[in-house]
Amino acid sequence: DVKVTQSSRYLVKRTGEKVFLECVQDMDHENMFWYRQDPGLGLRLIYFSYDVKMKEKGDIPEGYSVSREKKERFSLILESASTNQTSMYLCASSLNRNSPLHFGNGTRLTVT
């Protein structure tokens, strides 16, 4: 089974802090994704990566950046956290561009 591990289940941060969300997958998947999930809005794509050191913007990249230095690890960075970034953050991976996404259990981030 695919295992996608997100480093934290819950995080509480203050406005203006720099926040790092880490994600690791153990199945040698090519592609990795970061989504946020909000009630009534569904899942929205923040950034994705099809290869090491490669990244592409999703639908809502503003206020975020990413890093993929190793194939198995994809990090999401909130440069200066704001209260409107309070959300559930979901990391996903897929074997290739024709495969389904496999999700981690999410990080619930609260920015106060």
Partner 1 sequence: EDQVTQSPEALRLQEGESSSLNCSYTVSGLRGLFWYRQDPGKGPEFLFTLYSAGEEKEKERLKATLTKKESFLHITAPKPEDSATYLCAVQAGNQFYFGTGTSLTVIP
Q: Do 75 and 22 form a contact (C-beta atoms < 8 A)?
A: yes
In angstroms, what is the minimal distance from the CB of 11 to partner 1? 14
Place of tokens 């981690």: 104
Three-state secondary structure call for residue 89: strand
- Give just the sign of the alpha carbon dihedral 79, 84, 86, 92: negative
Complex with partner 1: residue 42 or 84, whichever CB lies closer: 42
Binding site for partner 1 (CB under 8 A): 4, 6, 40-43, 45, 90, 92, 97-98, 100-106, 108
In angstroms, what is the minimal distance from the CB of 52 to partner 1? 18
Complex with partner 1: residue 17 or 56, whichever CB lies closer: 56
